[in-house]
Structure 1
Amino acid sequence: MAVRLFEDKEHAAEYVKLRVTPDEVVRKIVTLLEKRVALPAKLALDVGCGSGQGTVLLAPFFNQVVGTDISPPSWSRPRQCPAEELPFDSGTVDLVTSMTAAHWFDRPRFLEEVNRVLRPGGCLALLTYAMDMELEYGDVSHKLREICFEARRTGSEEDHHVNGFIGLVHTFSAFRKFIETKPQEAEEFSNRIRNKLLDAMQVSSPETEVTMVTKYFYWIACKP
């Protein structure tokens, strides 16, 4: 059964603004693909592409890149279809990716469909980030990590600010459900985490910059 999320305009806009992008991981995947397929290759599919932040990273390496999603944001233009029913001919795709989305799919059906559309030598790459994200700031980084762990109960480095980290937590599907069902408690939780971070950093501005460390991992399989 298809899972439809992120159709709310506000949620989609926050997703684009705050979610991290896996530039380095995409480069590693393309490097592995290049050992099997000459680049630029013909066609890549990014399944469950959402706002397309990861999709655009593939563009320099393919003649055509198509993003697909069951519930795309209203302002984006991916191909709308379930991950388990890709509207492409058999044996025509060089790379299928899914970036932080495959956990929503009917995986056996999705993998069967990927096997159908991939050409010989083509690859499937699934990637996501671990939930043990960290914030670094001066000599209080260890305190911030403990607070981040509290926030997480609901491989890259980027400059962010405290409000940006709180906003990122707001994009998580579990937190969106928290906001929908208990909005006051969700707001109180966000404020508590924000204040704890600021107290630990001994600053008053939620726009204070921190370094957000995100650990990515990926799984890649190639068709003989």
Structure 2
Amino acid sequence: MAAQQFKKTAFSPVYQKYMIPVSNEIMNLVLSYVKDKTNGRPLEMAVDVGCGTGRYTLPLAPHFKNVLGTDFSDSQINVAKQYSSAKNVSYMVAPAEKLPLRTASVDLVTAALAAHWFKLDEFSGEAVRVLKTKGCLALHGGYPATELEYKDLSHDLNVVMLEVWNTLFQYNAKKIEHMLCQYKTIYQAIPLQDKEWIKDIPVKTEMSISEIIGLIQSVVMFQTFKEKDMKKAEQFLIQTENRFREILGEEADSVRLTAYFKHYCVLACKH
């Protein structure tokens, strides 16, 4: 099972360091939605389900009295605790389908880059159970592809990047379906009437070649590839980096490429 990669101690620091940066656009979207739906009431509790290393947990801290990050992986939670810098944030090992919270006690249940791993019916039931009236559910993900831009070399760079994703897709096709449709299937499965599906949210960041190679390693599909054939996976990384370097030439070590990511979000409110 690909999700078991998250339990591996060696993977969690790679995920923390190289996974795509936290999207301020997504955070602002979620927080605006919550504040609108809760009519400005004090926000007591948020839970970040499948929180991983806490990358999307900590940004919630200034907006809620208490924040809890949960994940099924001890390894991810241990790294999250190492990077925790907010006194009102805590972490706990717990599956998404069994939240350690009282009924009607939570203002926001959120999951960032994680909902496609859950047993959706069970998780949805738990989310609805723990939410207060006017509490919100926010699930967001990123489209599994990256477009690169740099001078007149963008086309050649993107040919390589497309080949990377097409190779990785072979190692987790089932879960990728939720991501390729931008969580449309998850939106349809959420058992709340007041809900929104927002797709094609553009997010861009600057990345070096080494950071792009790191990003590839931080993807679960690559870790599955590596588990099946370590030598082939390592050769794939080396070949990919060499192809980028050939395209960029002497600038390869100093250049900052513009990387475009496509995010999407499912928002819902309990009445």
What TM-score results when the alignment is normalised by the length of structure 1?
Answer: 0.93
Counterpart contact for 1:39–1:62, Cα < 8 Å: no
Greater alpha carbon shift after TM alignment, 209-218 vs 109-118: 209-218
The residue type paired with residue 69 of structure 2 is: G
Are 1:132 and 2:179 an aligned pair? Answer: no
For 2:180, the equivalent position in structure 1 comes to none
Counterpart contact for 1:159–1:209, Cα < 8 Å: yes
Are 1:17 and 2:17 an aligned pair? Answer: yes
Distance 2:74 2:42 in 1: 27
What TM-score results when the alignment is normalised by the length of structure 2?
Answer: 0.78
For 1:7, the equivalent position in structure 2 comes to 7
Distance 1:158 1:72 in 2: 30
For 2:104, the equivalent position in structure 1 comes to 91
For 2:49, the equivalent position in structure 1 comes to 47
Taking only aligned residues, the RMSD between alpha carbons, in angstroms, comes to 1.8
Distance 2:254 2:18 in 1: 14
Counterpart contact for 2:44–2:106, Cα < 8 Å: yes
SS of residue in 2 equivalent to 1:221: strand
Q: CA deviation at 1:191?
A: 1.4
SS of residue in 1 equivalent to 2:259: strand
SS of residue in 1 equivalent to 2:140: strand
For 2:122, the equivalent position in structure 1 comes to 109
SS of residue in 1 equivalent to 2:37: coil
Q: CA deviation at 1:131?
A: 1.5
Distance 2:42 2:15 in 1: 29
Distance 2:2 2:123 in 1: 11
For 2:161, the equivalent position in structure 1 comes to 148
Counterpart contact for 2:113–2:140, Cα < 8 Å: yes
Q: What are the Cα deviations for residues 56-84 of structure 1, in whole angstroms up to 9, with x where unaligned?
A: 11111111111000103234342111101
Q: What are the Cα deviations for residues 34-61 of structure 1, in whole angstroms up to 9, with x where unaligned?
A: 1121265110000000100001111111
For 1:34, the equivalent position in structure 2 comes to 35
Q: Which has the higher helix share?
A: 2
SS of residue in 1 equivalent to 2:14: helix
SS of residue in 1 equivalent to 2:264: strand
Greater alpha carbon shift after TM alignment, 41-50 vs 195-204: 195-204
Structure-to-structure mapping, 1:181-200, within 5 angstroms = 181-200=228-247
SS of residue in 2 equivalent to 1:127: strand
For 1:221, the equivalent position in structure 2 comes to 268
Distance 1:173 1:214 in 2: 17
For 2:259, the equivalent position in structure 1 comes to 212
| CA distance 1:105–1:17, change in 2 (3 Å) | same
Q: What are the Cα deviations for residues 127-186 of structure 1, in whole angstroms up to 9, with x where unaligned?
A: 011112112111111211111111112132222111110111111111101112211111
SS of residue in 1 equivalent to 2:133: strand
Distance 2:114 2:139 in 1: 8
The residue type paired with residue 263 of structure 2 is: Y
Match of 2:80 among 69, 76, 90: 76
- Which 5+ residue runs of structure 1 have no aligned equivalent? none
| CA distance 1:182–1:5, change in 2 (3 Å) | closer
Counterpart contact for 2:3–2:220, Cα < 8 Å: no
Are 1:173 and 2:216 an aligned pair? Answer: no
Aligned length: 224
Identity %: 33
Counterpart contact for 2:72–2:94, Cα < 8 Å: yes
- Which 5+ residue runs of structure 2 have no aligned equivalent? 82-90, 169-201
Distance 1:75 1:130 in 2: 25
